[in-house]
Amino acid sequence: MKIMIAEPLPGLANFISKGLTAEGHAVEIRRTRESALQLLGAFHFDLLILELNLPDGGLMLLQQLRAEGGRVHVIILTEHPLTPMTAIRLQPLDVAAYITKPFSYSKLAIQVNELAAREAILPA
């Protein structure tokens, strides 16, 4: 799979990237909404792993991406627990999974691999 990680914390983004790369996925890291949107507009990605609390707006990134017709699969990886209000705001945005930090890498890997199997997306 070709995966983008939109995560402002470099250490966490690199940790996730190393694990996914070791599993055969191609990974790009972006730390801001704008840089993520630019790359998503220029290249095809199978999956976006998104922190809602990007400095310039992770939720805004997802809303803009969907408004522009972007169909990339999305896994939310954030420090905020899923509240009823957040669930309502995310429902029309077609999110595949919502994982709260702290998290185990294996939980994220399971979500990624289940998505890849469901969509028959092979490692890059």
Quick: pLDDT tens for 57-100.
999 999 999 999 888 999 999 998 888 998 888 899 999 999 99
Q: How many structural domains is the chain composed of?
A: 1
Q: Is residue 102 part of a domain?
A: no
CATH of the domain at 46: 3.40.50.2300
- Does a structural domain hold residue 114? no
111 within a domain of the structure (yes/no): no
> Does residue 29 lie within any of the structural domains?
yes
End-to-end CA distance of the chain: 5
Taking alpha carbons only, the member of 117, 93, 97 closest to residue 108 is 97
> Does any domain span residue 104?
no
pLDDT score at 122: 56
| pTM score | 0.92
